[in-house]
Structure 1
């Protein structure tokens, strides 16, 4: 588990998916994420929503944890998101990016 802090001081607990199989599985067929919890897919510059059971927010970051893009409310089965140049993607429950105050351009910091 990894913890990051937003520019506004909110804490995010992350499970890391860094192997091919872990990234392939992602959040497919899993229960919804609790508040302030997410899945870090790395390396990753695009995601799909096939076999997902709930909507998510996708936060794309570079290697320095700078937020490049925030894709909100990606719907199950219908969503697809891409961010060329991203190093990783943090998947959060839908609405969490706004609740935690995450915006493009800010830098997330390790706790």
Structure 2
């Protein structure tokens, strides 16, 4: 099955969170997450669906976490989560994993409305 990629727009702020966010929708994709990556470049991301908690055990870099409800509203944000941490939001339906600093750069805040648009062809 071909991976799906999305552009993530913060409709509330008119800013971009990710130009190429890969969907992790299967069990194996969610378990693997970003563990096989050396880094996450600006503009990239991973959208984990469904998901309400993540860990960064074994990761090599810090990430920003954006917890979303079923309507793609931001419910919680964690900035610069370092390796070997756990984070959860029990009211979340999905989580965006982004490069550290991406959330601040986009001025995103809890309550903002996001729009995830599927891309025809992209690579993470």
TM-score, normalised with respect to structure 2: 0.84
Q: CA–CA distance in 1 between the matches of 2:116 and 2:97? A: 17
Instruction: Give a deviation string over 1:59-105, Cα, whole Å, max 9, x none.
Output: 0001110000001111112x110001100000001111111111110
Q: What is residue 32 of structure 2 aligned with on the other side? A: 25
Q: Does 1:5 align with 2:4?
A: no
Aligned-residue offset at 1:10? 2.1
Q: What is aligned with 1:68? A: 75
Correspondence for 1:91 = 97
Deviation at 1:31, TM superposition (A): 2.2
Contact 1:29–1:51 (Cα < 8 Å) also in 2:
no
Unaligned runs of 5+ in 2: 118-124
Residue 29 of structure 1 contacts residue 53 of structure 1 at CA under 8 Å; is this kept in 2?
no
- The separation in 2 between residues aligned to 1:60 and 1:3, in whole angstroms, is 16
Counterpart position of 2:51: 44
Unaligned stretches of 5+ residues in structure 1: none
Alignment match, 2:121: none
SS in 2 for 1:81: strand
Aligned length: 110
